[in-house]
Structure 1
Amino acid sequence: MNTSTANRQRSNDRTTYTGPGMIATGEATALLPTETTPPIKVFGTQAIRETFDDLCLQQAVNSRLAPGVTDLVLNPDAHCGYGAPVGCVMVSPTHIYPGPVGVDIKCSMSLLQLDLPAEAIEDRKVRRQLISAICQRTPTGAGKGQRNAEKSRHVNRSLGRQLVVEGASEDVCESLGIPTSWAFRCEDSFHLGHDDTTDALGTRLEKLLERRDMSNFSDKMKQLGSYGGGNHFGECEVVEVGQSDRAREVAHAFGLTDGNVAFLSHCGSRGFGHNLASGQFRHLQNKFDQWGIPLPAGDRQLVYAPLGSNEANDYLDDMALGANFATVNHLLINALVLEAFQEVIPGTKGHLVYFISHNIARKESVNNRPAWVHRKGATRAIPGGHHSLVGTPFAKTGHPILLPGNPRDGSAVMVADEGAEASCYSVNHGAGRVLGRRHAKRVLDQTTVDSEFECGDILSNCRQYPIDEAPAAYKDFDEVLRSVKSAGLASEVARLKARFVIKDASKADD
C-alpha cells in the first residue's frame, strides 16, 4: 500500500506503456500478455481495468519478467508502487524481492468488535469524547510516539527488543496489557527468522543495533501503539451484516454482531519497519552495483536476492523483525482503543475479529510447490477447508478479509470463495488510489470533502479532513467489490459504516 517519496516523484513522469493490451476473459477477469512468459492474471471489471494507468501496467510486466517470478496477479485496486504495483501478488520459489513488500513492512488491517449497539454512539458529544480518549492513547503521524499521548503504554528498550524477536508471544502480550487470546485471531501472530527460529532474529537484531542507522532503536520502539500518516487510520464503524444465510452464518463464526459498534485500524511497522526496509534497499542496490548485475527493467526498486544467499537470509530476518513490530503495534492499538471506549462508556467489552497483513512475503504452497508469495497491497484470501487453516477458528468458513473503502462509502468484511485459487489465494487490500496525492490536492475541493462528512454525520479528529485522503481520491469501492465477487474470489459478509475517523491531519508520510 505505501508508496515511497522517490516513487511518487518518478510517477509524475508518466510512463507510456507500449506493450500488449489486456485481453478480457470474463466480466471481471482479463490477461495481460508479456513477450516471454505466461500472461499476468488481471481481476477487475472493464471500468476498473480502465483505472490501471500505463506506469502500473509497465511495472506489472517488469515484475513478471524479473528473475525467478512464476506468477503475477493484478487486483482491482492496482496502481503504481515501489518497483511492483500496489495491489499485486508476485510469486517466486527461488528469489525474495523487497520491492513487492515495500517500505512499510506488514502494513495491515485489524477489526475490533464491541458489544455496544449503534445507539450508544449516536450522540455527537459521546463520539467527540471517544475521539479524545483514543487520541490520548494512540498518537498519529510521522515521528509521533508515546510522548505525544499521555495515556499510551510505555515501551522501554528491553521490551522492544523482546517483541521484535518474539512477536505477540504470551509474555509480550501480558507485559503490554493485550489479551493473550487475541494472538489466535491473527493471520500470523509472530514471524521466525530465515531458518525458522527466533535465535536467527536475535542474532540479526544484535548486528543491526551496532549500525549507525539503528541508533534510534529506542525511539522507534516508543512508536508502538500509534498510527502513521498518509492512508493510516482508525475508524469507528457500525456493522451491517448481509442478509443471506451464508453471510449471517459466516458473520457469526467471525464474531461480528449486526448493528453493533466496531473499530477498524490500518497501520504497519512505523519508523522501525521503514529503517529496516530502507537499509535493505540500500544494501542490495549497492550489491548490484558491485557485482555488475543488470536490474530487472533497469529498475533499482526491483532488486532481489536468491533464496539461500546471505543477502536473502538477512532480508527475511529483517522483514520478520519489522513484521513482529507491526503485529504487536496493531494488537496494542486495539487494546488502547478498547480502554478508551471503557473510559467513556464504562462496562464496554470487545474482542478482536481478525488481524491481517497486505504488505508481506509469506512462504506458501503454490501449484503444489513451496514459494514466497509477495503481497504488495494485497490480502490473503483462503477459503474454508483449506489445509493452511487447520487448527484455526476459521477452518470451516475461511478467515475474515478486511477491506477498507473510504469513510463516505464504507468498508467491507469478506470471505474467500473456492475461486480464490486463481489469484494465488489473494484479493485487493482496499479501494486503491485513482488520484495521486498531489493531483488530489490540485483538483479536489476541501469544502465539498468536508460537507460529505457533515452530511454523513461522520466526525474526525482533524479540523479539515486531509484532502489527499478524500473519498474521491480512491476508486469506486462498490465497483471494486463487484470485481472481486464477479471474479469468484470472495463474497461479502458485512459492510462497515463509519461514525468517526482518527487520522493524521499533517503532511502525508507515505
Structure 2
Amino acid sequence: MNENDSLIFNMSDRADTPSRIPFVVQVVVIQIVKELMDLYTDHGNNHKEIPLPAGRLHVFANDEIFASLGAKVYDMADNNLRIPGNIHMSYTPDAHVGIGTCIGTTAVWDMADGYVSPSIVGSDIGCGMRVHLTPLSKEDILDKKVRRELIRAVEKMVPVNNRSASTYQDIDLEKVVTHGLKGLPQQYIPDAYTPNRKTSISHVENAQFTFDTDYLEYIQSPQWGRGKKQIGTLGGGNHFIEFQVIEIEEEQREIADKWGMKDGQVVVMIHSGSRAWGAMMGREYKKDFEIWMSKKGIGTRDPNLVFAPINTDEGQRYLNLMYSALNYAVINRHMIAYGVLEGMKEVFGSKVEMPVLYDLMHNYALEEKHDGKSRLVHRKGTTRALPPGHSLNATPYQETGHPVLIPGSMGTASYILVGQSEGVKNYYSVCHGAGRIRSRRATKEQVTVDEFSSSMKVGTDEEILVNHRSLQTILDESPQAYKDVDQIIDSVVGANLATVVARCRPLAVIKGV
C-alpha cells in the first residue's frame, strides 16, 4: 500500500458522497496543516519543502511571496496529496486558491499505475499564451488615435463578446480537434513570407495532440455546434489580447536576436483557451470520476477534487477527450491571432507580417519522459520552461530553449523568459502569470475605479488604452487583483527555473466580456 492510501477517507460505509467529511476531521487536519507550515526545509534559491500530513509540497517563491501564502493553499495541497502514488507536487509563486486544486500546481504520477485528475487540470483545458512578433516599433503606435483605431480594427475581426459567433464557418471542427493546427484550411496558415519554414506549425509547443478519435463519439451534438461557433473567439475573464513594447535584457541579447526580437519592438500577446469545448470536459466528466470514487468508497475533504486511475475507462475517456480540447485551444489562439493580423493590415497596410514567436499551454495533463520513465505531469496554471538542448523543445528552439511567456496584468509588465537546466527539480514548470491576490468579488468591493484608472495611467501620454468604455465593467481584472509580477519573476529567476529575456510593457489591451 502506498503511504498516501491510508490518508484517503474511506467512504464505503456512507450512503452519501465523498463531500460529507465530518466537520471535526476537517478542523483537526486544517489545524495540523497550520502547525506544519513553519516546519519547512529551506533548500535555498527560493525553494522550500513543506511536510504536510499527506506528503511533501515544494514551493518555489521568494520570502515575500512565500510569507503571503495562506493556510488554505496548503490545506488544498494536502487534499491533493491524498491521491495515491503522487511522485511530486509543487506550487509556483503565483499559487492561489482554485476549485479543487490551487492554480499554480504541478502534480506528477507514474503512467503505469498513477492517477489523472480533472481538478488538477482545470476547467479551461489548454488555456495558454501566445506571442507574435511585428515589424512595428514603439513610435508606430504611441499616438493614442492609432492605438484606438487598432483596437477597433481588431474587434471587428475577433469576437470579444461571449454572445458573438465565430466568422470561420469554413473550418471543419472535427478536423481541428483531431489534427490541431494541421487540420486548418491552408488559407489560415499565413506563412507565405516563410515558404520553406511554416512558423505557424513549427513555433508552437505542440501543433497536434494525437489521441484515440473513437472517444469523440461521446461528444453530444449541441457541443459540436457550440464548439463550431466559438472558434477564434476570445472569451471573458482574464483572457486578453495585448499590444506590448519589449525591452531586451542585456545579458540575453544573443538569444533575443536568434528569436527575432529587438528593443522597442511591438509584440502581440494573446491569452485564451478551449472555450466551451474544454469546459464541457471538466463539467461532464467530473461526474464520471465522482461515480467511480463513490463505487470505490474513497474521497477527500474537498468534494471538488476528483480523480481516478489512468488505466480506468473513466481515466482513458477523460485523457483522450482532453487532448481534443488541447487541439481546440491551440487553433483557437491561432485564429485569434489571424484576426489580429487582419486588423493590423487594415491599419498598417496589407504587407504587414506577424510571425508567431511561440504558443504554450498552462492547463493540462501530459505524458512526458523524466529520468527515462513515463510520467503524467499535471500543470494547472503552470507552464513548461524547457532549457536549451531538452528533447521536448520544439525543433526551432532546440539550441536555445523555447520562449516562456508569463503575463502580468493589463497595467503591469509581462515577461518572456527561457528555461534553465536546474528546472528539472520542478519538472521544468514555472508560473503562468502573476496570480490573483484577490477574488473577483473582493476586488470589486475593495478597489475603486480611480485606483484602477491611476494604474492604467489614464489621461497621461503613457495611458494604457483598453477596449472598454468604462473601467467599472472590468474592475475585477484590474492590476490590483493580482500579485506583484516583479516579485513573481524574482521568485522564478531566484529559483533558477528560468531567466528573463525580455520585459513587455502594455500599450493597448483588448478584453473579452
What is the TM-score when the length of structure 2 is the normalising length? 0.88
In the alignment, what sits opposite 1:55? 72
- How far apart are residue 219 of structure 1 and its match? 2.7
* Mapping 1:72-471, distance limit 5 Å: 72-93=89-110, 94-146=114-166, 152-155=167-170, 159-169=172-182, 171-174=183-186, 176-179=188-191, 180-193=198-211, 200-201=212-213, 203-209=214-220, 214-244=221-251, 247-289=252-294, 291-295=295-299, 297-346=300-349, 347-389=351-393, 392-453=395-456, 454=458, 455=460, 456-465=462-471, 466-471=474-479
What secondary structure, in the 3-state scheme, does the structure 2 residue paired with 1:183 have? helix
Aligned to 1:4: none
Structure 1 position 40, deviation (Å): 1.2
Superposed CA deviations along residues 157-185 of structure 1, whole A, max 9, x for unmatched, are: xx01111111110x515153554531111
Structure 1: 5+ residue runs without aligned partners? 1-6, 8-12, 147-151, 194-199
Aligned counterpart, 2:37: 21
Q: Hey, what's the Cα distance between the residues in 2 that align with 1:113 and 1:380? A: 21
Give distance in 1, aligned partners of 2:75 and 2:185. Answer: 43
Q: Secondary structure at the match of 1:388?
A: coil
CA distance in 2, matches of 1:111, 1:177: 16
What is the distance in 2 between the residues matched to 1:106 and 1:436? Answer: 22
Distance 1:183 1:298, change over 3 A: same
2:242 aligned counterpart, secondary structure: strand
Structure 1 residue 306 displacement after superposition: 1.2
SS in structure 2 opposite 1:393? helix
In 1, Cα distance between equivalents of 2:199 and 2:31: 49
- Report the more deviating stretch, 375-384 or 308-317: 308-317
Q: What is the distance in 1 between the residues matched to 2:97 and 2:162? A: 22
Number of aligned positions between the proteins: 469
Structure 2 CA distance for partners of 1:51 and 1:339, relative to 1, 3 Å: same
1:61 positional shift? 1.7
Paired with 1:257 and 1:270, the residues of 2 have a C-alpha distance of 33
| CA shift for structure 1 position 131 | 0.4
Name segments (4+ residues, structure 1) moved above 6 Å. none
1:27 is displaced (CA, Å) by 4.8
Conserved? CA contact 1:155–1:221, under 8 Å: no
Cα gap change, 1:277/1:155 in structure 2, threshold over 3 Å: closer, same or farther? farther
The CA deviation string for residues 72-93 of structure 1, in whole angstroms up to 9 with x for no partner, is: 0110000011212100100011
Aligned to 1:3: none
CA distance in 2, matches of 1:364, 1:137: 37
- Work out the CA distance in 1 between the residues paired with 2:118 and 2:64: 31
> Which shifted more, 303-312 or 102-111?
303-312
Give per-residue Cα distances to partners, 1:326-357, cap 9 Å, x unaligned: 01001111111111111110132120000000
| Contact 1:256–1:353 (CA under 8 A) maintained in structure 2 | no
CA distance in 1, matches of 2:185, 2:480: 39
- Whichever residue aligns with residue 172 of structure 1, its letter is L
| Structure 1 vs Structure 2 CA RMSD | 2.0
C-alpha change, 1:178 and 1:319, in structure 2 (3 Å) is farther
Q: CA deviation at 1:379?
A: 0.6
1:197 corresponding residue in structure 2: none
Cα separation, partners in 2 of 1:116 and 1:52, compared to 1, 3 Å: same
The 3 A distance-change label for structure 1 pair 67 and 142 is farther
1:398-457 CA-to-partner distances (Å, cap 9, x unmatched) read 111000011222100000111111111100001000111111111001122123211441
Higher deviation after alignment, 252-261 or 464-473: 252-261
Query: What's the secondary structure of 1:301's corresponding residue?
Result: coil
CA distance in 2, matches of 1:207, 1:467: 39
Which residue pairs with 1:475 in the alignment? Answer: 483
- In the TM superposition, what whole-angstrom CA distance separates every residue of 1:374-411 from its partner, at most 9, and x where no partner exists? 0000010110011222x611111111100001122210
C-alpha displacement of 1:264? 0.2
Q: Which amino acid aligns with 1:134?
A: V
Q: In terms of mean alpha carbon deviation, does 59-68 or 89-98 score higher?
A: 59-68
C-alpha contact (below 8 Å) 1:416/1:490 kept by paired residues: yes
Q: Which runs of 5+ in 2 are unaligned?
A: 1-18, 20-25, 192-197
- How many angstroms does 1:63 deviate by? 1.1
